A = this chain, B = another copy of it.
């Protein structure tokens, strides 16, 4: 078996998701995942540090999409325009990823919902995203408070739209649902 196995990572992810859904996260081992994916445990560890990380693959990419969009917005852009650009980039990143497997994010969310430790890991990921966004906004010249509130707003809009997006009967896009949330937030704050 060569070092490079075409599709091994995708097969590992698919196998992990199936097993977590069938047996529960705690009852699934790395050996189980590797066996179902048809690779060795050693191959598993070439891609992931542990079984939990299979569920948090792509985290860096998502954060980069959000943060790069904030940094790339034109110098004179309004904060509203920067928010829109960040949400379009972050939401767009996940829309593209999902096109490979429509059910992945919903099944993943169900696995997370059944396990407090995984939920906490997800919350920490969102807190880190907010921290990174606040940093990028300060770099643009926003004061500390506005940067922090704007970052929290972006993450709140993203998370709320994401939860709707993966619902079984939702056919709208994530970016579209984010705009919906932003509109609702504006209405609430001016009510």
* Interface residues, chain A, with chain B CB atoms under 8 Å away: 78-80, 83, 116, 119-121, 123-124, 127, 145-146, 148-150, 152-153, 156-157, 159-160, 163-164, 180-182, 184-191
Contacts and interface: CB of A to CB of B under 8 A. Distances in A.
A178 to B, nearest CB: 11
A122 to B, nearest CB: 9
A107 to B, nearest CB: 21
| Interface pairs A-B: 9 shortest CB-CB | A120-B120, A152-B156, A123-B123, A79-B191, A149-B185, A78-B191, A149-B184, A79-B188, A145-B184
A116 B123 contact: no
A150 B157 CA distance: 11
A80 B152 contact: no
Contact of A116 (B79, B124, B160, B163): B124
Contacts of A146: 184, 187-188
27 contacts: A78-B191, A80-B189, A80-B191, A83-B188, A119-B127, A120-B120, A120-B124, A123-B127, A145-B180, A146-B184, A146-B187, A148-B160, A149-B157, A149-B181, A149-B184, A150-B185, A150-B188, A152-B159, A153-B153, A153-B156, A153-B188, A153-B189, A156-B156, A185-B189, A186-B189, A189-B189, A190-B190
A145 B160 contact: yes
A187 B83 CA distance: 13
B148 A152 contact: no
